[in-house]
Amino acid sequence: MRVLSLRAVILSLALGSSALSLSACGHSPLTRALTGGAIGAGAGAAVGGVTGGNPGTGALIGGGIGAAGGALTAH
C-alpha cells in the first residue's frame, strides 16, 4: 500500500480549491468549459506529478472534469 506525504495532500487540496474557484471564469458555456478544462488539466497534471502518479493521466482526467464542470455550471 502506498502512503501519501502530508505535503502531497496539502498541495493537492490547495490546487483543487484554487481550480474550483477559478473555474467560475467566463459567462458562456463555451468559455467556462475552456477555462475549466485548462485549469483542470493543469491541476490534474500537478497533482499526478506530486502524488507519484502519471501527470498525463492526471491532466486528462482533470481537464475532462474541469470542462464538464465549467460547461454545466454556466448561467
**10-63 per-position pLDDT tens digit:** 777 777 777 666 655 667 888 888 888 888 888 888 888 877 888 888 889 988
In a domain, 66, yes or no: yes
The pLDDT, as a whole number, for residue 4 is 66
In a domain, 19, yes or no: no
Helix or strand (DSSP H, E) at 15: helix 6-22
Q: Total domain count for the chain?
A: 1
What's the one-letter identity of residue 9? Answer: V
DSSP secondary structure code for residue 28 in this structure: S
In a domain, 60, yes or no: yes
Quote the domain boundaries for residue 58: 27-75
The pLDDT, as a whole number, for residue 36 is 85
In a domain, 72, yes or no: yes
Q: Which residue has the cell 475532462?
A: 64
The pLDDT, as a whole number, for residue 12 is 74
In a domain, 73, yes or no: yes
d(CA 59, CA 72): 20
In a domain, 32, yes or no: yes
The pLDDT, as a whole number, for residue 19 is 65
